[in-house]
Amino acid sequence: MKQTSFFRRIRDSRLFWPLAAWFIILAFNAIVMPDFFKVDIMDDPVYGKHFYGNIIDIFNNGAPLILVSIGMTLVIATGGVDLSVGAVIAISAAMGTVLINPALGNELIENRILTENTTRTPLPIIILADLAAGAACGLWNGLLVSRAKIQPMVATLILMVAGRGIAQLITNGQIMTIYYTPYFWFGNGYILYLPVSIYIVAVVCIIAWLLVRKTSIGLFTESVGTNATATYYSGINEKNVKLLAYTFCGICAAIAGLIFSSYVHSADGNNNGLYYELDAILAVVIGGTLMSGGRFSILASVVGAVIIWTFTVTVYSLGVPGQALLAAKAVLVMLVILLYSDYSRRLISRLFERKGSKHEAAS
């Protein structure tokens, strides 16, 4: 029975719903703001020629969220959740800036620091330190969840709260400003007219996909999320599967933090990555992964994150004031919940089925 109808294959694909939702928003934009899709070429004195426009912005500004959503997908697929990603973004950002800034946070900020293009630590080491910090945070979460058997929501809450404190300790409670152009490149540079962050996202996405679909990690993750006991009985070390998911998520958040601080030339322990955990969870849910775990699709979560940013950019482009953004987002959340509820799924499913069977009858 390989020849399932084309129609059904599309509908059953995990990407169908997220993509459909994205196209609806894009179609809305196309009608209301024909200019929305305009892409210009801009010549930047520092970073060279590049594309410029809303669509580029969505991907460039959305890169940190997309990265975090990729990590969050794995965690949610195991049946958990990671509330600490926002805090890990802050830690990573603080780490990066403190290693660059010779003031290390305790010396008086001199003018020199803000004008001299310099770093205290070589760039590769900064990147490694960032990633290591993220991995350590993830490992901590993973150990709490898998070994100490603390519920994921509670376990990651610890770092969610403590993490911002750690970030502030690192920067000595200040908002760290940096001036080191090679570091800025991650958030502001361009390769072949496109933002560097898009390439970073692509690379992480490909690595995650390879990890998940070309090894048995994806299968094990889905199995753990669906039935942990049966998975254990089948000889899979479900603890290590969870550990890996949280660690990977921590690393993703660290990369997001790096791009973040690079983008705004500073680190602010209090505000970097604020509410990112919630947006990432929403992105994963839009991507069709159940909060209870099981089946997941990384690409669908990526689309989910893109939807959130498309929505945000749309709201801004419509001239809605920033304060109202949260209210607008609430509408998005409500729509998602409605659209994804069992009831409406079944309804639409039935609608499709009827069409599907007609197709079959005709063919």
Residues that bind another protein in the complex, under the rule CB under 8 A: 1-2, 4, 8, 214-217, 219-220, 222-223, 225-227, 229-237, 294-295, 353
Question: Is the Cβ of residue 138 or residue 269 nearer to another protein in the bound state?
Answer: 138
In the complex with another protein, the residue whose CB is nearer, 8 or 129, is 8
Token pair recorded at residue 163: 């993490």
What separation, in Å, do the N-terminal and C-terminal C-alpha atoms of the chain show?
16
Provide the 10 A C-beta neighbour count for residue 117.
9
Which is nearer to another protein, 162 or 295 (by Cβ)? 295
Least separation in angstroms between residue 13's CB and another protein is: 13
Single-letter amino acid, residue 47: Y
Interatomic CA distance for residues 125 and 248, integer angstroms: 20
Nearer CB in complex with another protein: 22/296: 296
Q: Which C-beta is closer to another protein: that of 46 or that of 214?
A: 214
- Helix pair angle (54-77, 85-100), 10° resolution: 120
Q: How far is the CB of 228 from another protein (least distance, A)?
A: 10
- Min separation Cβ 293 and another protein, Å: 9
CB of 241 to another protein, least distance (A): 9
Number of Cβ atoms within 10 Å of the Cβ of 2: 3
Surface-to-core class of residue 121, CB atoms within 10 Å of its CB (0-12 exposed, 13-18 middle, 19+ buried): middle
Burial class of 112 by CB neighbour count within 10 A (0 to 12, 13 to 18, 19+): exposed
Query: In the bound complex, what is the minimum distance in angstroms from residue 76's beta carbon to another protein?
Result: 14
